[in-house]
Structure 1
Amino acid sequence: MLVSLDELDRETAVAAVRALEVELFGSHAWSETSIRQELDAPARTYVFDIADDHAAATIQPDDVRGFAGYWYDGDDAEIMDVGVGKAHQRQGIAAAMMTWLIDRARSQGARRVLLEVRVDNEPAIALYRRFGFANIGLRKRYYQPEGIDAHVMALDLEPHIVGFQSAASATGESTGEPTGNATGDATINATSNEETK
């Protein structure tokens, strides 16, 4: 069951994110202070995966199997963090949360979704590519202290017109020419390892 940050007790959310961060990311884990600042920052949207048998009012930190969130600046939605507990990976949880985030970003008017991912995190890269994300850059030595590079990936939510568009196709008239849809919409059944930093 997916619940938004607004549906979850704030202390439960902070404790759950901190526990998952430590489990998944070790020395790269966000501190409790960083988590509080992130969740309280403006223009943040977070989703949590909870076992289906829990009512929102009774959710405890240990009931949270995964979390994901983004920052929306009025143009782009930037994925800030995605994590799924090791015991719950390869069950489609990250894919469900990514679908939720992308749908929410699209409904807010985002033109694209951006993220950074370690170049050696092949399962996460494969998940993002199934959604239509493409590499647009590289951040050298982004992950410290190891100095691991990060791919910068983007998913366009609005079609980009390349070249010229005829007046007929711009007005919706049929020209007999094939037309494409570059929205990046995708339906997936993901079974990847969902650790994504």
Structure 2
Amino acid sequence: MLVGLHDIDRDRAIAAFAALERELFGKGAWSENAIRQELDAPARTYVFDVDEPDGSIRGYAGFWYDGDDAELMTIGVSKDHQRQGIAAAMLDRLLHDAELQGARRMLLEVRVDNAPAIALYRRFGFSIMGRRKRYYQPEGIDAYTMSADIRPHVMGFQTTQTTQTRGNDQDIHDNEGAAQ
């Protein structure tokens, strides 16, 4: 079950977030203090995947919205619960929330060696924009920068709209027929 940050005990969410960070990212994990600062920063939206029977937090994801672009800040799912659709559900929710807030596109960075994450992002319409050398520290791993349009960026007027499927059958509109 996906819940927003304001629908969950904050200290429990932070502790689970920090534990998952250590499990998933080792030396590159965000500290508990960094997580608190991130969650307290303005214009952040975070969701958590909570296992209904026992209430454990299996995943987290969040973005920052600056008034035009949304930036995926982080997404993580416990190793025991990966490949079960949790990351896809969280990403879909974040894209929906970003669209409701007015974002036109979402940006992100991903390790170049993280094939499962890259495949997930491509499934949701993200494409590679560029590469950031030695972005992930302390390992010095490069990152791809990726972006996906959330809402059409219309230049001129729009004559028709078509519907396409986002990652898991949520409707979004593209700008087919828009003047370029």
TM-score by length of 1: 0.80
Match of 1:152, SS state, is strand
1:29 corresponding residue in structure 2? 29
Cα RMSD (Å) of the superposition?
1.9
Q: Please, which moves more after superposition, 45-54 or 25-34? A: 45-54
Q: Please report how far the alpha carbon of residue 52 of structure 1 lies from its aligned counterpart in structure 2 after TM superposition.
A: 2.2
Alignment of 1:27-176 (within 5 A): 27-53=27-53, 59=55, 63-161=56-154, 170=157, 172=159
Aligned amino acid, residue 111 of structure 1: R
Q: Does 1:187 align with 2:161?
A: no
**How many positions carry a matched residue from both structures?**
169
1 CA distance for matches of 2:102 and 2:34? 27
2 CA distance for matches of 1:137 and 1:76? 17
Gap change, CA 1:40 and 1:171, over 3 Å in 2:
closer
Q: Does 1:4 align with 2:9?
A: no
Gap change, CA 1:138 and 1:185, over 3 Å in 2:
farther
2 CA distance for matches of 1:151 and 1:50? 29
TM-score by length of 2: 0.87
Give the conservation status (yes or no) of the 8 Å contact 1:133–1:153. Answer: yes
Q: Which has the higher contact order (CA 8 A, sep 6+)?
A: 1
Q: Please report how far the alpha carbon of residue 105 of structure 1 lies from its aligned counterpart in structure 2 after TM superposition.
A: 0.3
CA deviations 1:28-74 (Å, max 9, x no partner) are 110111010001111110000011235xxxx4xxx000000001111
Give the conservation status (yes or no) of the 8 Å contact 2:88–2:167. Answer: no
Match of 1:138, SS state, is strand
2 CA distance for matches of 1:185 and 1:152? 23
Match of 1:39, SS state, is helix
User: Who wins on radius of gyration, i.e. which is larger?
Assistant: 1
Gap change, CA 1:185 and 1:75, over 3 Å in 2:
farther
2 CA distance for matches of 1:17 and 1:52? 17
| Superposition misfits of 4+ residues, deviation over 3 angstroms | none
Structure 1 gap segments, 5+ residues each: 173-178, 190-197
Give the conservation status (yes or no) of the 8 Å contact 2:128–2:146. Answer: yes
1 CA distance for matches of 2:154 and 2:96? 22
Aligned amino acid, residue 65 of structure 2: Y
Q: Please report how far the alpha carbon of residue 138 of structure 1 lies from its aligned counterpart in structure 2 after TM superposition.
A: 1.1
